[in-house]
Amino acid sequence: MNHQQEASIRVGQQMTLTIKSLGINGEGIGYFKRKIVFVDKALPGEVVHAEVTQVKEKYAVARLLRVVEKSKSRTVPPCPVYEECGGCSLQHMDYQAQLASKREIVIESLRKYARLDHPPVAETIGMDNPWSYRNKAQFQVGKQDGKLIAGLYQTGSHKLVDLDSCRVQHEATSEIVQTAKQILGELGIPVYDERKRTGVIRTIVARVAFGTGETQLTLVTATPDIPRVKELILELRTRLPQLVGITQNVNTQKTSLVFGDKTTVLWGKPTIAEKLGDLSFALSARAFFQLNPEQTKKLYDQVKKAAGLTGSELVLDLYCGTGTIGLWLAPHAREVRGIELIPEAVEDARRNAEHNGIANASFHVGRAEQLMPKWAKQGVRPDVVVVDPPRTGLDDALIRSLLDVKPKKIVYVSCNPSTLAKDVSQLLKKYELVSVQPVDMFPQTSHVECTVLLKLRGAND
């Protein structure tokens, strides 16, 4: 460690910085005495005055005090609780600039980790209206000054921020949450208290199907019984006639996981019908579905384009979740096989295949890094492998197996540019990076999703 340099920055110190770029969490990045400094809510091109709040070996964190020279991309965040809520991180940036910055983040990651000077990264595919895009609101319930509140936690804290309306949520979900909150308060149904482990209501989950307009309300409770449950259901049905089902999920554990194991129907249907392109889905309360359906369709179309199927291919859909990517591709392939770790998701995937009359797709429970090499030993030779891993990226064993099995194409769907770039750098041993297409699945946040095409070197199409 360089002590001289270390001594030159301390907590509480104020400094003026020029912001050079946007970090992976949406913070502005500047340099002070060659040390990287992250400043939350500062934008590239700005000169800001900031106060150091944390000093680490490789970086420092500073709090924005004042913008000295303002970026043209700076906008007034429309959300009244933007500063407190941890849900969004880029509302202070114009949408077109958000899209450009997300592309820059992907380019920078590939430069840094895959050592590519000019990675082939296309313009980010955005939304015409980058608001009201989320199909599910999952709000924690709490008490504030004796009043029932519901919302999200502040970034890095356990303080609940009450959300009366949330601009990135579809209006239908906001209306359900607000009305449910009001009714629960009126009936005096006790809120779960995490510390004392008393009370009943933990979370309100509202979901809307964009394709059909059907809506569903789920109450997550700490106890199997809900006091005044009959009145509750009657009020909900009267004031929210758009609901097709009300379900209860019981989570008795002291945990940060939202859902428990048991879900029961309090009234109506257990599922809502959703449509995406030509596919339809029956979604139960806990079933996973992408949160931004409009952009999901664009993302999956990019996967289809990258895969370039002719109808004769065997496609593997690794980390397949409920099988949506595999089912999207199945009509254009000879056969699709999906692998997913969570058994319930695989059951959903099979049900989804049946529901859509898709007979050439099968779904298997297992670890991608174990099942794919096992199949390879049995002579299974995929033409195209689609991977859509969690933020941690691909397992080393899976990368080795891909380099061994050598499918002609790998289509990598990534929600984390850093792990994507690290994995790509390994795959470059045998693959060429053909295209990278960022898709904005979460406008107003710093998340960026990419569809990446890698082609086996020397393979003909």
Instruction: Compute the chain's Rg from CA coordinates.
Output: 24
What beta strand segments (E) does 56-121 contain?
A: 59-69
Q: Rule CB under 6 A: is residue 321 a binding residue for ligand SAH?
A: yes
CB closer to ligand SAH out of 332 and 367? 367
Pairing status of strand 431-439 against strand 449-456: antiparallel
Q: Rule CB under 6 A: is residue 324 a binding residue for ligand SAH?
A: yes
Q: Rule CB under 6 A: is residue 345 a binding residue for ligand SAH?
A: yes
For 382-394, give the DSSP string: -SEEEE---TT--
Whether residue 433 contacts residue 457, with contact meaning beta carbons closer than 8 Å, is answered with no
Pairing status of strand 35-39 against strand 59-69: parallel
- Whether residue 340 is annotated as binding a ligand: the answer is yes
Among 368, 411, 420, 452, binds ligand SAH (CB under 6 A): 368
CB closer to ligand SAH out of 85 and 345? 345
- How is residue 178 written in tokens? 């607000």
- Catalytic (active site) residue 415: yes
Number of residues located near ligand SAH, criterion CB under 6 A: 18
Beta bridge partners, 435, equal 453
CB closer to ligand SAH out of 199 and 293? 293
Q: Rule CB under 6 A: is residue 393 a binding residue for ligand SAH?
A: no
Residue 305 CB partners (closer than 8 Å, separation 6+): none
Among 390, 404, 434, 457, binds ligand SAH (CB under 6 A): 390
d(CA 14, CA 80): 28
Going by C-alpha positions, the residue among 113, 189, 449 that lies closest to residue 303 is 449
d(CA 77, CA 280): 36
Residue 18: what are its φ and ψ, rounded to 5°? -100, 130
Among 325, 441, 450, 454, binds ligand SAH (CB under 6 A): 325
CB closer to ligand SAH out of 100 and 448? 448
CB closer to ligand SAH out of 139 and 363? 363
Q: Rule CB under 6 A: is residue 372 a binding residue for ligand SAH?
A: no
Q: Which element (helix H / strand E) includes 30?
A: strand 28-32
Q: Rule CB under 6 A: is residue 375 a binding residue for ligand SAH?
A: no
Shortest CB 415 distance to ligand SAH, Å: 8
The one segment of 18-26, 131-139, 224-232, 364-372 that binds ligand SAH by CB under 6 A:
364-372
Bind-site residues for S-adenosyl-L-methionine:
290, 319, 340, 388
Which residues contact ligand SAH by CB under 6 A?
A: 290, 319-322, 324-325, 339-342, 345, 367-369, 388, 390, 395
